[in-house]
Amino acid sequence: MTFTQATGERAPTTNMPPTQKPSFGSSTLVTVDIVVLVVYFLLILAVGFWSMWRTKRSTVDGYFLAGKSMTWWPVGASLFASNIGSGHFIGLAGSGAAAGIGAIAYEWNGMFMVLLLGWLFLPIYISSGVSFLHTQLAQDRPVPVDMYAGAVFIQLALKWNIYLAVVLLLAVTALYTVAGGLAAVIYTDAAQTAIMLAGALTLMGFSFVEVGGWDALMEGYFTAIPSVRVPNSTCGIPRDDAFHIFRDPVHSDLPWPGVIIGMSVPSMWYWCSDQVIVQRSLAAKTLTHAKGGSLLAAYLKFLPFFAIMLPGLISRILYTDEVACADPDLCKQICGNSVGCSDIAYAKLVMELLPAGLRGLMMAVMIAALMSSLTSIFNSSSTIFTMDLWKTFRSRASEWELMIVGRVFVLVLVAVSVLWIPVVQASQGGQLFIYIQSISTYLQPPVSIIFLMGCFWKRTNEQGAFWGLAIGLTVGCIRMLLDFIYPAPLCFEEDDRPGVLKYVHYLYFSMLLSFITLAVVVVVSLATEEPSPEQISRLTWFTRFDPVKPKEQEIPEEHRRTENSASSVSSPPSQSRFMSAIYWLCGMERRSEADSNTVAPAAPEQIICTLDEKPSLRHLVNANLIICLSVTVFIIGYWA
């Protein structure tokens, strides 16, 4: 269907009848691909169970922070895998197909922020003795986005029922997450990273060979115009600034002032104060290893541009009428989404270009991206629920109780994820990926400003933080609600949205929201009582080297006996082998009654907050910091 130029009414076209649905993903997985998938699952399970031997899982630190024994390479790989979900493969490639390379600014901006985490925020977190960062208001990649993106591949390649596929994935994911804790999550993330990069780079090679090389990509993208589109409109026509990340400050989809400032504030929240990310860095054995993990993650974030986004552009060139479809009715037939079908760009390449075996590898890549996201969310959410909520109501909960609660909560999340599947199916993508970028600008800037002020302005107090967060989130939620009530018009429709939506880009709104929050924090903090030196000792950048003052506290004898008996549940004389296996699988140690009676009172807890670094290693990571920043500035400048 298309529009007649004279009247604007719809008229049938002869080049693609509306009843003919283009083939999407005619290839399916064969026996070799299934074998590759089985090998992948066995590998991940093997890594997960092997990691159980690496840490003591029967303690809070052992389960939730991997015993604080992680070196730089698994920390960095886990940071990368936790960030790159299946939504990236679908959404980033789709954004490239639809509007060029502009969206890669989110990835390159994150490179600066993950380095900011290692050199500015982590020293404050470590000096304060924090073990769990109790903040996680919103996920940058919500579970529904990743579930939808993974479902695109599962339904396309395996032809499985979506419930069967997701339940299987969640079962395998929950198995090693419940049993192994953060250690299993981090080591499996490292394995997932290797699989993701191997598969994505392989597909990139096939894509460039098929399109004819770099020059053919640069020229072919601008001529990739679908044969069926709405005339006298911009529908289906590639953007003139498709290969620039700094675009017109007024009329473009990503104005350059918003990219520099408005994008940085939400990104700071995600990389510097979100539990999913910070928890991995806090699991490092030293500050130097935490910095090394940030460096590795930053270096790895160069790759999505080449391995995910550019293949998305190539997919538009190779399959223009489907990936770049511009007629709503035709798009509905192709992919079930009248807004557009750019989200099928990556899946289309996988199923059409790759031979048997490699299609199975890419299926494993998508599952790896999905599972790494789920394990990160499961483990971090379990940490927050157990240490932040449960301990609030059960202040004297034993370590045994906390271990059980943390594991059971993961199982609850698995059940909720299964129940969420109908919602995911109903959404089927739509504008969900586009919305998720704008949603982050409505909810995250107030949290970023609160953390930034609290860490680097000693005058910030509790009242200022509370009112800044309350007012900032209220304003952000109002704008988010308006966005859902008045969605952006299609390319041939007139924009009749309210002015605050029509003329204020969401990245500019991020800047405005940050300023409002900052003003409230400053005004309220100055108008109320100043924090005492004891209240901010070792909690800000300027007080991070204050001397440690151990808190001695006397524990009444009756409380000691109660805690000892609670934390050391006596074993029955003859314990079944089944229960023994369950305890071993979960890393739960049960002491005998005799051991319980002889346990000495625990010494007062000492805060582990050393910022000491070996000079040689400190110089090495600092030199790499300069190199990484220089390369990042160069690549951004080249494509600006």
Burial of 554 (0-12, 13-18, 19+ CB in 10 A): exposed
Hey, is 123 helix, strand or coil? Answer: helix
Which residues of the chain are in CATH 1.20.1730.10 domains? 30-430
Q: How confident is the model at residue 19 (pLDDT cuts 50, 70, 90)?
A: very low
Give yes or no for residue 4 having a pLDDT over 80.
no
pLDDT digits (tens, 9 = 90+) for 125-164: 988 877 655 544 444 445 555 665 665 566 666 666 656 7
Closest CA to 503 of 260, 255, 244: 255
The one-letter amino acid at 123: P
Q: Note the pLDDT of residue 387.
A: 74
- pLDDT of 527 reads 96
- Token pair listed for 379: 């483990």
Residues 440-451: tens digit of each pLDDT? 788 899 999 999
User: Using CA atoms in the order 317, 320, 325, 327, what is the torsion angle rounded to 10 degrees?
Assistant: 130
Mean pLDDT along residues 116-123: 95
Rounded Cα gap, residues 426 and 430, in angstroms:
10
Percent of the chain with pLDDT over 70: 71
Closest residue by Cα to residue 106 from 422, 335, 434: 434
What pLDDT score does 556 carry?
46
Q: What does the pLDDT average to over 614-626?
A: 95
Residue of 510, 499, 520, 521 lying closest to 442 (CA atoms) = 510
Tokens matching residue 323: 């990936």
CA dihedral 460, 464, 465, 470 (to 10 degrees): -170
Q: How far apart are CA 638 and CA 640, in angstroms?
A: 6
Q: What is the DSSP string of 536-593?
A: HTTTSGGGTTSPP--------HHHHHHHHHHHSPPPPSS--HHHHHHHHHHT-----H
Which pLDDT value is given to residue 608? 46
- Check residue 339 and give its pLDDT: 78
| Nearest Cα to Cα of residue 404 among 263, 590, 143, 549 | 590
Q: Which of 135-144, 183-192, 306-315 has the lowest mean pLDDT?
A: 135-144
Q: Which residues contact 257 (CB under 8 A, 6 or more apart)?
A: 249, 507, 508, 511
- 30-430 CATH choice from 1.10.3720.10, 3.40.50.10440, 1.20.1730.10, 1.20.140.10: 1.20.1730.10
What is the average per-residue pLDDT within 491-509?
88
Closest CA to 366 of 177, 186, 187, 147: 147
pLDDT digits (tens, 9 = 90+) for 510-548: 999 999 999 999 999 999 999 999 999 999 999 999 887
Question: Pick from 75, 78, 66: which is nearest to 182 by CA?
Answer: 66
> Would you list the DSSP string of 359-419?
HHHHHHHHHHHHHHHHHHHHHHHHHHIIIIIIHHH-TT--HHHHHHHHHHHHHHHHHHHHH
* Top-confidence range, 63-72, 344-353, 408-417, 482-491: 344-353
**What mean pLDDT is predicted for residues 309-319?**
95
Q: Are 144 and 432 in contact (CB under 8 A)?
A: yes
Query: Residue 408: which pLDDT band, with cuts at 50, 70 and 90?
Result: confident
b (16+ CB within 10 A) / e for 489-499: eebbeeeebee
Query: Average pLDDT over the chain, rounded to whole?
Result: 78
